[in-house]
Amino acid sequence: MTSMLEQRTTGTAKPPSWWERQGDLIMRRPFNEWTFTHMNWLMPAERVARGGGYRPLPADPRALDLTYRVDGREYTVADLHRRTFTTAFVVLHRGAVVHESYPGACAGPRSRMQLFSVSKSVTSMLFGIALAEGAIGDVGDRVTDYRPDFRGTAYHDTTLAELLDMTSGVGDLEVWDTPDSGIKRFERAVLGGGDVAAVVRAAPRTAPAGERFNYSTFDAQILGWVIEAATGKTLARYAAERLWSRIGADHDAYYWLTRARPRTALGAGSFNATARDLARLGLLMARDGVVADRQVVPRDWVRRSRGSDLPQLRVGALGPSGYPHYGYANQWWTLGDGAFTGVGVHGQYLFVDPAADVVIVKCSAWPTQDDEARDTETVTALRRIADHLAGRNAPARTTTM
């Protein structure tokens, strides 16, 4: 048998197995058109029950006869779908569905979409609920108050507020094209049966806490674990009881779970729901956390998610792990005018513009995890749609990529 040393020096190293490459295969086009709507066929999963309080969304269909401008050219909504691999698209205005389409090969109204890091924004909503209920004491509490297994790690003195704003100062730049990056080690542990918590605990400190933004799946994952530790419930059960059963959802949602036992949901990235039901979450955030006269998410928590006064979190100030048109607050990407959005890799969006009373869900199957040009084009188009529906005479948003 050829030794590993011989393989490395002679160039005869055995190529990675399917098991080792499954993360890349799941996310590759055109396979991701199917995998992003069937994650519960590929991974263990836990249901997020909708309960019995279904409330239909009213319909007010309208043609989106508008264009948006990118690089000096005008594009239509149909162009947006084609150019950015849209799979599901739902637009609400004043609480009614004004546009709904499913350009994806495997998507439809009943398809539960893999939302990736939009899950982080859902986790923030759950965190706000747990805080209001007293299960979590204060955002100034430390990670180790809830997860003692993080004592002695770079997260030892990290506060929950620092996790929420991704200013923990722990972890490297989150890049997907470097095989040994922190996020790729995390992915391999999640999909391959490794110790996910050990990967997070091993993350190094790279900056003083609170000083700079560094987008971090690890920070968000710990928030999910804190919710579970504080409430004594799995993330899926807590989400079902405190959120999903209260928004009038049409379908159950689910979190897929790590392969290794004890299995755990990814509060940072494994929530799956229909596009319409995700729009209901956006409507909740547009309406200050209220559904049918019931306060589901605390009003001040919703407002906290619309923008931050911290200079390092303002639009254009995020540094290398944030695009120039974004700021950040409370596990949401902010846009500087009261609008904000959840964003997931491969083009998942939950866009909320409270002033326009517009919510837009866009699910996609990009060929790569991140794409600044497609992201910039998408945000330009979504803001243009909101302006159009609100009748705002805003100047055309011109974007150069």
Query: Would the pLDDT of 20 be above 90?
Result: no
What is this structure's pTM?
0.92
- Count how many Cα atoms sit within 13 Å of the Cα of residue 154 in the half-sphere of its side chain: 23
Q: Are 346 and 360 in contact (CB under 8 A)?
A: no
- Tell me what pLDDT residue 25 has: 72
More confident residue, 365 or 398: 365
- Tell me what pLDDT residue 401 has: 37
Q: Please, what are the domains in the chain?
A: 24-399 (3.40.710.10)
Closest CA to 225 of 158, 298, 299, 132: 158
Q: Is 139 exposed, middle or buried (0-12, 13-18, 19+ CB in 10 A)?
A: middle
- Tell me what pLDDT residue 17 has: 53
Query: Would the pLDDT of 399 be above 80?
Result: no
Q: Are 86 and 362 in contact (CB under 8 A)?
A: yes
Instruction: Round to whole Å and give the CA distance between 364 and 242.
Output: 28
Query: Would the pLDDT of 24 be above 80?
Result: no
Q: Considering the chain, what is the average pLDDT of its residues?
A: 92
Closest CA to 147 of 215, 78, 221, 73: 221
Helix axes 217-231, 118-133, angle to 10 degrees: 30
- Tell me what pLDDT residue 5 has: 34
Instruction: Round to whole Å and give the CA distance between 180 and 166.
Output: 21
- Tell me what pLDDT residue 22 has: 60
* Sheet with 73-76, side-by-side order of all strands: 73-76, 67-70, 398-399
